[in-house]
Structure 1
């Protein structure tokens, strides 16, 4: 079995999760046993996973494993499931239903997003109107956990249940040193295989879980840690033998201008001290692999000669490549960016460049898709107002089904200061969109052939960036030719090409075919 290790699957996901989704789709296409393994407890985790086409067999969560709920029959819930006493008065709402006992609010039912009337959680109130207890309901239709709350509304103790209502785990919180919040600090695994176990941290529990998982499936299992810190450190500490690999979704160095001698990105500092415990590293570009090899030549101790494998994180399904892109003639002058919204992604510079585009292409629209910190989103709105292009910029948020947005656009743009391998660029190519981006480490120069399927600009050259976008929007023949080249270049990421790279690595020895 091959396990892709991650912290969570959320409603809003980063490129780490999307790379896993694509990788799992490829492995399923090739009929090789693989699963995404997640660490965090989330009563809506399976609902989130289903949004991206994943089923219960695709994702194995640590708490599901210990609660015995990895494979359950889904049920629909409603207020009737709670068997509310007949004397209570219910006030129904689309998001929250309140239950009153006379004039006192007894509890509130918070409904599952996107599912009318179903239960996500139930808040219980004391006689003074304080929430003292919260029951969490799994999106598959059963009560999964109970939180006991302080007066500030934060949990101090949690109980996680088996499906029959018996206790599976207890989790306890303590206040952080800076008194700004609480963290999990103690875990009690109850009567697991006839014994009780205690763990100080969630990392310790996750390591124990990985060892248990490794022993449950016969043969040589393969673990690939995708999420920095949350998964690679627990994997390093496993006691049982397995093949272990570290995947790099981000740059390995803190300073992108000095990838060899600058400090390591903090997420990787401990890992690089224990490379001898790994079977290999996986990067998405040869450029990053070479930079790590150079760095390791200067590193003392074991692991400096560790094998580094290069496998692109993108995978374009064959059915996508069989679908011809929408003709540019049928589209408005829409330019799209897809990705996380943060300062390091240079989204503010996209607005500045687009302010140079609008005077030349008055009907141009910049479609920005992704999630980010609210303060940063507010700053983008303010900047668009200052640049007088607010009517030409759409902040459309995170979109799970992104294909229609690509089909409506003519050009994909990115102004990121650094990017290990921007998956959205490959997605855009598969829809016939030329890409305009800065020539930064590492991914853009591997994905874009300058002047063929897009343009690679010198970092910071906003004027040149804008001129290339203008040219693509105003020169129909150039847009058509480069769009065709973009679609053809996406074929480099089809199942045949990417799977060939996986097969030649030796990593797959632990994955039995279905």
Structure 2
């Protein structure tokens, strides 16, 4: 079995999770059994996989596994049903906070309770009990989205959680976490398969999970860590297994300085400094693999395998079938994506090509950056020329509509949007950041590689393209050809040395 190790699948906007899912599908296509395993407690974790099209039998959560939960369990647990079942009085609706509704409830023992329910399915998510008139909880409950009580929280006199009991679908407590403070656990107590365990180290707690799965599937299985929170746990395993770390992002700590001499990205520091503990370190870019080896001299451990694949069976559209003047950008609004620079580039382009417009697809992860983007749009009178489209799960139709793809990042790992764009024949214009663009872009063949932060040259290249439909068509054809270098067959061959 091939296990892809993550914390959970709740972050639908993360490229890491999308890359992991693409790997899962690639392995399945070539008849290699694979599952995603997750190591965090989330009372609504089971709702996450569906956002990615992942089925419940394709994923194993550590607490579902240790608790031997019934995968088919479901019970309706709305606010009305919860109050009726417990003989509580629903007092009033308190409003909506993000993806939850809040209600004030009075219990039958002189307490009040704040009950939260999921907006998506109306199921109760959590309950915090406190003396009437007090804001400090004394006891709390968390309900799994499938309808069962999944944990109980016990608080000290200051309202800080001191202990958490985790329950299974049978209502049995199988795990207890004793908190050292609000940010760390001092002790894990576990009952699993007739034995009792006490762990003071999260890595050992995770390792029992990994070792048990490894034994269940005959040992010597492959474990690929996609998140730093899981990496060290693999090194605490006692059973024989292949251990791999996938380096999704730039390994350097500061994108403005050379990773050959500067600090390291904390997500990958442990793996890079203890490479001997792993069978492979995989990164998506050949350029990054070369620089990792140049710094650490571990060529026998580092291999480059892109985090996704390109499709070569898409209908090939001509520029006459597209909006040639639409610039597409697929990036969350955050500092490293430098979306404000894309706005400034568009402003320069429109001075000579007034039809040019920009559509931005992605979530907002930094509010300050978002405010700057909105300010630039407003002060430069670009409201009709820039659309912030948010997260759209399937962008196929958008790729087929656009005239080119723009990327202004200061740092990448290997942008999946490039593989998607080449599948749809979009010319690429991107800064030559670490890493990814130079692995894909062939300057003048499928787009243009721009020196970092050179907005003027980026605008000039886009103007050149939009002013010459024949050139734009040639670059589009080059992009379709690029997809063949990254199709399933080529990427799968790279995985052979690992599996």
- State the TM-score, normalized to the length of structure 2: 0.89
Q: Which residue of 2 aligns with 1:308?
A: 302
Q: Which residue of 1 aligns with 2:260?
A: 260
Structure 1: gaps (5+ residues): 176-181, 298-303, 509-514
CA distance in 2 between partners of 1:114 and 1:134 (Å): 22
Q: Per-residue deviation at 1:203?
A: 3.1
Decide which of 442, 459, 484 is 2:435's aligned counterpart: 442
Q: Which residue of 1 aligns with 2:149?
A: 143
CA distance in 2 between partners of 1:358 and 1:291 (Å): 38
Q: Which residue of 2 aligns with 1:288?
A: 288
Q: Which residue of 2 aligns with 1:340?
A: 332
Structure 1 pair 473–73 and aligned structure 2 pair: CA distance change class (3 A): farther
Q: Can you list the C-alpha shifts for 1:141-171, whole angstroms capped at 9, x where unaligned?
A: 3222223456776643322101111102122
Corresponding residue SS for 1:57 = helix
Q: Can you list the C-alpha shifts for 1:88-135, whole angstroms capped at 9, x where unaligned?
A: 2465678536364499984444332432x3333334343125362432
Q: Which residue of 2 aligns with 1:19?
A: 19
CA distance in 2 between partners of 1:70 and 1:405 (Å): 40
CA distance in 1 between partners of 2:320 and 2:46 (Å): 38
CA distance in 2 between partners of 1:427 and 1:80 (Å): 45
Q: Which residue of 2 aligns with 1:88?
A: 89
Corresponding residue SS for 1:340 = coil
Q: Which residue of 2 aligns with 1:349?
A: 341
CA distance in 2 between partners of 1:76 and 1:259 (Å): 52
Structure 1 pair 84–324 and aligned structure 2 pair: CA distance change class (3 A): farther
Corresponding residue SS for 2:479 = helix
CA distance in 1 between partners of 2:220 and 2:275 (Å): 20
Q: Per-residue deviation at 1:80?
A: 5.0
* Contact 2:254 2:263 (C-alpha < 8 Å) held by counterparts: yes
Q: Which residue of 1 aligns with 2:417?
A: 424
CA distance in 1 between partners of 2:221 and 2:284 (Å): 22
Q: Which residue of 2 aligns with 1:239?
A: 238
- State the TM-score, normalized to the length of structure 1: 0.86
Q: Per-residue deviation at 1:200?
A: 2.4
Q: Per-residue deviation at 1:332?
A: 7.2
CA distance in 2 between partners of 1:484 and 1:101 (Å): 66
Structure 1 pair 284–164 and aligned structure 2 pair: CA distance change class (3 A): same
**Higher RCO by CA contacts (8 Å cutoff, separation 6 or greater):** 1
* Contact 1:282 1:309 (C-alpha < 8 Å) held by counterparts: yes
Q: Which residue of 2 aligns with 1:179?
A: none
CA distance in 2 between partners of 1:45 and 1:348 (Å): 34
Q: Which residue of 2 aligns with 1:178?
A: none
Pairs aligned (count): 490
Please provide the CA RMSD for this pair.
2.8
Q: Can you list the C-alpha shifts for 1:3-42, whole angstroms capped at 9, x where unaligned?
A: 1112221243322111101100111111211111222111
Corresponding residue SS for 1:41 = coil
* Contact 1:411 1:472 (C-alpha < 8 Å) held by counterparts: no
Q: Which residue of 1 aligns with 2:372?
A: 379
CA distance in 2 between partners of 1:416 and 1:89 (Å): 50
Q: Per-residue deviation at 1:76?
A: 4.1
Q: Which residue of 2 aligns with 1:128?
A: 133
Q: Can you list the C-alpha shifts for 1:334-354, whole angstroms capped at 9, x where unaligned?
A: 322223332222222212212
* Contact 1:90 1:97 (C-alpha < 8 Å) held by counterparts: no
CA distance in 2 between partners of 1:102 and 1:218 (Å): 50
CA distance in 2 between partners of 1:69 and 1:399 (Å): 33
* Contact 1:436 1:465 (C-alpha < 8 Å) held by counterparts: yes
Q: Can you list the C-alpha shifts for 1:271-309, whole angstroms capped at 9, x where unaligned?
A: 233222211221222222222222233xxxxxx453322
CA distance in 2 between partners of 1:15 and 1:137 (Å): 29
CA distance in 2 between partners of 1:214 and 1:199 (Å): 20
Q: Can you list the C-alpha shifts for 1:427-457, whole angstroms capped at 9, x where unaligned?
A: 1221222111012223101111111221111
